[in-house]
Amino acid sequence: MIYLAALLIGLSLLGALATLAISLHGLWLWWQGRQQRLGRRLRIRRSQWLSEDLLHLELVHPWRLPLPRFAPGQFLTILAQPPGSRPMRRCYSLAAWHSRPWQYQLCIKREALGRMSQWLAEQAQPGRSLRILPPAGHFTLESQHGPHLVLIAGGVGITPMRAMLHAWLKRPGGRRLTLLYGGRDQAALAYHQELLTLAAAHPEFDYRPALSRDSQAPSAWQGRLDRQRLSEIVTADSEVFICAGDALLKACLAHLSDLGLPDSRVHWEAFGAGALGAGAGQFALDWQGEALDYNGQPSLLHALHEQGVELAADCWGGHCGSCRLGCKGAVEWRQQPALALPAGQILACCCIPKEPLQLVRL
Binding site for ligand FES (CB under 6 A): 313-316, 318-323, 347, 349
Q: Taking the complex as a whole, how short is the minimal distance between the CB of residue 90 and ligand FES, in angstroms?
A: 10
Nearer Cβ to ligand FES (239/314)? 314
Q: Taking the complex as a whole, how short is the minimal distance between the CB of residue 338 and ligand FES, in angstroms?
A: 8
DSSP state for residue 221 in the 8-state scheme: G
Q: Which of 329, 328, 318 is nearest to 139 (CA)?
A: 318
Question: Quick check: bond before 147 cis, omega within 30?
Answer: yes
Q: Taking the complex as a whole, how short is the minimal distance between the CB of residue 315 and ligand FES, in angstroms?
A: 4
Q: Taking the complex as a whole, how short is the minimal distance between the CB of residue 296 and ligand FES, in angstroms?
A: 19
Angle, alpha carbons 351-355-357 (nearest 5°): 75
d(CA 252, CA 211): 16
Nearer Cβ to ligand FES (47/322)? 322
Q: Taking the complex as a whole, how short is the minimal distance between the CB of residue 133 and ligand FES, in angstroms?
A: 12
Q: Which helix (H) or strand (E) holds 138?
A: none
Nearer Cβ to ligand FES (164/349)? 349
Partners of 70 in the β-ladder: none
Q: Taking the complex as a whole, how short is the minimal distance between the CB of residue 39 and ligand FES, in angstroms?
A: 16
Contact by Cβ (8 Å): 345, 324: yes
Nearer Cβ to ligand FES (170/361)? 361
Nearer Cβ to ligand FES (103/322)? 322
CA distances from 313 to 91, 94, 96, 131 (A): 8, 17, 23, 16
Nearer Cβ to ligand FES (136/259)? 136
How many Cα atoms sit within 13 Å of 105 on the Cβ side?
20
Contact by Cβ (8 Å): 296, 304: no
d(CA 198, CA 158): 15
